[in-house]
Amino acid sequence: MRDIILSKMQAPPSITNSQKVRVIAPSGALREWERFEQGVKVWRDRGYELDIPSSLSQPYGYLAGTDQQRCQQLIEAWNDPECVAIACARGGYGSMRLLENLDWNQLSDRPKWLIGFSDITALLWGFAKHKRICGLHAPVLTTLANEPERSQQQLFDWLEGKNNSITLSGQGWENGKATGRLLPANLTIATHIIGTPLCPDLEGVILAIEDVAEPPYKVDRMLTHWRWSGHLQKIKGIAIGRFSQSEVSTPSLTMEEVWRDRLSDLGIPIVMHLPFGHDGENAPLPVGCLAEIDANNGTLSYKLA
């Protein structure tokens, strides 16, 4: 039976700035405490009550705690009836490990916003697949304060229901336009999700990808894996965000040359240089919302429907 997950998503209700938001660290150990506190301040300055556990990050090597500790944080935050959103402290690595043995029946079916990007892709896809709940691919607490005012405002306007439609502008490759359900992801994490129970059927989606510190040859390898898996052939359009810190000193194709070499023969609308990802403006991208990609005009538009 076809996986119909992305056509039957639940959008969490709008939140208000007097409500409780819980903070979790499901991935890498939190070491950027100053940037974390700056991100917390952004939320609190807007009136939100942030619940930060005293045991938020108990470094276990490169992780923010053992799998059991981090998983328990997630379960307690998700099942808290007073919590309307969960803000992830940072990315790094580790969220996929939580989902390997997670009993999804332990988690409430009540939708709430889960906010994060990069390594948090695994949680966003997991909740889409197993709970059919929209998450928000958006800044984590250690990156939020460095966001320009525009993207901060987009984030809170979306969460608070003040704006349910966003258009981002980039550079299109022509091939017209297409509509589908938006599926944002960090490319590395999404590549490792292929072939696991977390991977939804990608038939008809608009895939939005970004990454950091991955040189062009590694991006080539990942996209080649997507091609061989058959998943790229299902996708209706591709939105490419920022692939930062990807410079190499040895002879190499540029990142754009890799994208064109591996994707242009798909014959689908593709827009690159969109304002999301690491090290710059990171516009909020809701998982599973209705999206239109227009490669002639170089835009990605999406809205709650």
From CA 175, how far away is CA 29, in angstroms rounded?
Answer: 43
Closest CA to 242 of 264, 275, 286: 275
* Over residues 121-150, mean pLDDT: 96
Render pLDDT for 240-251 as a digit per residue (tens, 0 to 9).
999 999 987 777
**What domains are there in the chain, each with its CATH number?**
5-159 (3.40.50.10740), 165-303 (3.50.30.60)
Q: How far apart are CA 93 and CA 123, in angstroms?
A: 12
Residue 289, pLDDT > 60, answer yes
**pLDDT value at residue 7:** 64
pLDDT category at 9 given cuts 50, 70, 90 is confident
CB atoms within 10 A of CB 76: 14
Catalytic residues: 118, 210, 278
pLDDT of residue 6: 61
CA distances from 190 to 28, 65, 209, 249 (A): 17, 23, 9, 27
pLDDT at 26: 97
70 — pLDDT class (breaks 50, 70, 90)? very high
Query: What confidence score (pLDDT) does residue 290 get?
Result: 95
Instruction: Quote the mean pLDDT of the chain.
Output: 94
Tokens describing residue 212: 């950091």
Within 10 Å of residue 249's Cβ, how many Cβ atoms?
6
Q: What percent of the chain has pLDDT over 70?
A: 97
Can you tell me the mean pLDDT for 281-292? 97
Name residue, tokens 């939320």. 43
Q: How confident is the model at residue 3 (pLDDT cuts 50, 70, 90)?
A: very low
- Residue for token digits 């808290």? 80
**Mean pLDDT of the region 156-164:** 95
84-106: pLDDT as tens digits: 999 999 999 999 999 998 999 99
CA distance 259 to 180: 21
> What pLDDT was estimated at residue 156?
98
Tally DSSP H helices, then E strands, for the chain: 9, 14
Query: What's the mean pLDDT in 198-223?
Result: 95
